Structure 1
Amino acid sequence: MRRAMGIGLAMMSLAAAAPPGTPQPRLDLSAPFGLPHDWQLFTTQGPEEEDPGGNRAPGALHLCITRDGGRTYRPALDTMLVTGGGKSVFDTAHYLEFARVIRPAPDRPLLWVQVASLHAGNGDQIVGRMALAYDRAGQRFVPVYDKRTGRNNNQDVRFIEQGALRGAIISAEPTTGAPFAFWITVNRIGRDGRYAPILRYRSSTRYGDGNPLAVIDSEMPETLRRLNLWRPGSPLPLPDGPCPQPRLIARVLWCTPPKR
């Protein structure tokens, strides 16, 4: 199997009022960011509705970062799935997949939020991910990375927690032309505190090749090689899960022999 994810956002007025809805669990931001009491990720959810496939689905989500129980936004995160095209039913988040604090460096916390749209008739979703830092001068959180992708074609976006690329964000997105592979993009945080790409290449991993590893894992040796962080002959960089028979085949990591 391979996985998928992604994001996008627009800022809203700090003085806007939160819409009504059913309150959801809140994430405290005061302690990890060293802020005064009551900073939190505040979430409410509307009533159930029908998705384009005719199935019952959770209602629309309203998400905001607030220090006053949702009365004002710093900022709102309701447009994480909005694209530049026309208005769509998939512009609105209905699933909060997770929200947590990540650390590109021990003294640099970021808020990482992942949401998803309603399911389309084919089961696909728009998935948005965003990393936000606290701006002490502006007394609000600001996005430092955001990306949206679909889910059905093994898209993936991952924050790297350890190893040579600790703190980086890697994405894998399918190419549009044959032979069908993936665009691998590595983003690093810069001096301005925002993420920017430092590497982009077409993968040796092919779509539908039968490799059960996630694309980012199967490409990790090649990604590190291109960044001069790994050399052939050195121990292979392995995924977190079981990898009983690691081997490189045409620059791609496999943990089990390919099926013939």
Structure 2
Amino acid sequence: MSNDANTPAYRDSDQYKAFDVTVADHVAEVTLIGPSKGNAMGPDFWAELVPLFEGIDADKDVRAVVLTGSGKHFSFGLDLPAMGADLAPVLAPDAKAGPRTEFHDMVKRMQRGVNTLADCRKPVVAAVSGWCIGGGVDLITAADIRVASADAKFSVREVKVGMVADMGSLARLPLIVGDGHTRELALTGKDIDAARAEKIGLISDVYDDQGAALAAARGIAAEIAANPPLVVQGVKDVLDHSRSAAVDDSLRFVAAWNAAFLPSADLTEAISAVFEKRTPDFAGE
């Protein structure tokens, strides 16, 4: 971090466990760094996401953002082992209003993190390589533009672990790829490659490798940053206006739905299977 007293505090990467942040030429580059394998999203990620993007939003020097992942993968999604303690109270057989209310509050706090990225006035360009699973898809659908390397793979996988995706994919994906593709991805939990993702409009372009995808994202961000910043923010405001109410309504509904219905034998089985590294056996209970 610079010793300049005027440097915004959010730029100090030493304060983060889940992110690295650099700023140059009016572009902030945010890199997911874990600490879990595959940049999985654990407690540190959710605690740091809001202050990070609030800082970027308030930084007058920043005009665009590049979002990417460290290592071979963008993100494996929600870190179930690390978040297990937060899920345990609501999964108890006798969980009543108290634990369910606390779970609902937690979902709303996590949703706020993704919303802070989506609502950032500085356009966000995501560069995806390797796996982008579950929460990773939530994150990139909150970005304004998405590019990927040829090895990228995407999955709205929550259904396979006994959950309804509640961080924004079900609200934002239909506005990006359409209702039919969203239903196929969310109901099957299937994996799709970069070519299919480009075909359905999830990503704008596919590049040969991770380096080329990141370079392309940096190029797009530089093009955005070269434009009048207040006009860019105005364009984003207008584009977001027509969909913001629908997204907010969907997020409120799914938070309440999961607080009421997420606890199940199937979810317990899914989490146990993750810890035991086996295929789950769902019974519809």
Taking structure 1 as the reference length, the TM-score comes to 0.26
Q: Higher helix fraction: Structure 1 or Structure 2?
A: 2
Taking structure 2 as the reference length, the TM-score comes to 0.24
Q: Higher strand fraction: Structure 1 or Structure 2?
A: 1
